[in-house]
A and B are shown apart, each in its own frame.
Chain A
């Protein structure tokens, strides 16, 4: 299984809304080596999803360059599989068909698709659900399907936009462990967006804390704790306290901004 690096250099993003300019990202520089698990952490409005969407190729940056797998990003592609918070499964396809879809697009032959899909479904404990439609699955199961769908692409890079944000705490922990297992086994390069400090510490090799408007890198640190991490360990909590302070500063700016905007209206 190949892995690949991502290079983000001088990336900025300006949105034009009703004649006003909104600087969502400003001069972001990140080099993400192959196989690294990186979390983008910050309050809402810090541009972490904007950055992820730029890497995914959905919404190109207004300045700077992003390269993935050594190639400049200019549009979405199956080399950067994305897992969305809203699952984004195709509701008219069964679990099996959802996972197979990307492979059919690739033009893989039927027998190979069947093998890959059944391997993945077994790996993610979805085998018994293969004939079901997404509406008949729980949130956790749906997100498993979405992960399987991206894994089927065999892309070296996985982009995850608050994938577990809508799940209950137990399901969430369960899927986090599963994701770590898959990541360790398949050596993917993962960029994972979250606003949960604990989730970031639990999962990541590296945490990039972002500032509120314009989004810049506030802190870029490595998490050296051995896995599986114990959320009750003192080191874990020390890190949580440190990151909590950083994130809360930005959250406060976000809050003040909201108050100011309300006053203008």
Chain B
């Protein structure tokens, strides 16, 4: 088991290693302008420099060692971006979930809200950028607004679908056991909808992550999105790539985290048996 896993990982490394080796060779042979395509080694060096604190640590200074260790530009940018993702997502999903549950459960609420939802849903969150800046100015508020918007619709649509698709056999069984409307909703409809809601959450967080980068490029002056756009102005392609790698790693971390959460919350679910 162990050795086969090692082998699989080994096989997985082959293609990236070859790509990086070719890239490094191309850079070393001087076939391309390093301002256009820096060598992988240069990118990694930049990434490390970007990660480390800008100032040397002053023992006994006003900054504690821990605060110093996290004062690197990359870490501050990542934390700022993630803060926006989390805040925007919590607001967006926090509004979408109750609305989705009531739209799914009540035909009347659905009839009230569905036309508006259908009208607004196809507008990409990015199209709200001008309005967001007009309404909220620059800084965190427009970014958080856009992220919340990006998370809102996937969670909403999936929650509605989740509530509506609940197999009627569960409803019949619960009614037979004497369940009240409230119990029915909390103990049957809601858990039965969880797989759908979670896949909405997953799409919502993915959208939030895309939107945060875009809105940082336009509406704020910090965060990873801002940083890579700023680097372009100085022709720092190595820094652009270092930022992109960081964005990729954060995206992967979110995905792995979501997967873990999914597997835990849906351990009862038939589709997930690993």
Contacts and interface: CB of A to CB of B under 8 A. Distances in A.
B172 A58 contact: yes
A91 interface: yes
Interface string A69-109: 00000011110111010101111110000000110011000
A76 B191 contact: no
Interface in A116-145: 133-135
B13 interface: no
A187 interface: no
A86 B175 CA distance: 16
B180 A90 contact: no
Interface residues of B, number: 22
Contacts of A92: 191-192, 194, 268-269
A11 interface: no
B166 to A, nearest CB: 11
B177 A86 contact: no
B179 interface: yes
- The secondary structure that dominates the B interface is helix
A44 to B, nearest CB: 18
A102 to B, nearest CB: 4
Given A133-B267, A135-B269, A105 B172 contact: no
B176 A78 contact: yes
A86 B169 contact: yes
Contacts of B179: 105
Contacts of A81: 176-177
B173 interface: yes
A26 interface: no
Contacts of B180: 105
A82 B269 contact: no
Of A78, A92, A106, chain B has the most CB atoms within 10 Å of the CB of A92
A245 to B, nearest CB: 35
15 contacts: A58-B176, A76-B176, A77-B178, A82-B176, A84-B169, A84-B172, A88-B169, A88-B173, A90-B191, A92-B192, A101-B174, A133-B267, A133-B268, A153-B177, A153-B178
Interface of B: 169-170, 172-180, 183, 187-188, 191-192, 194, 267-270, 273
Interface of A: 56, 58, 75-78, 80-82, 84, 86, 88-93, 101-102, 105-106, 133-135, 149, 153
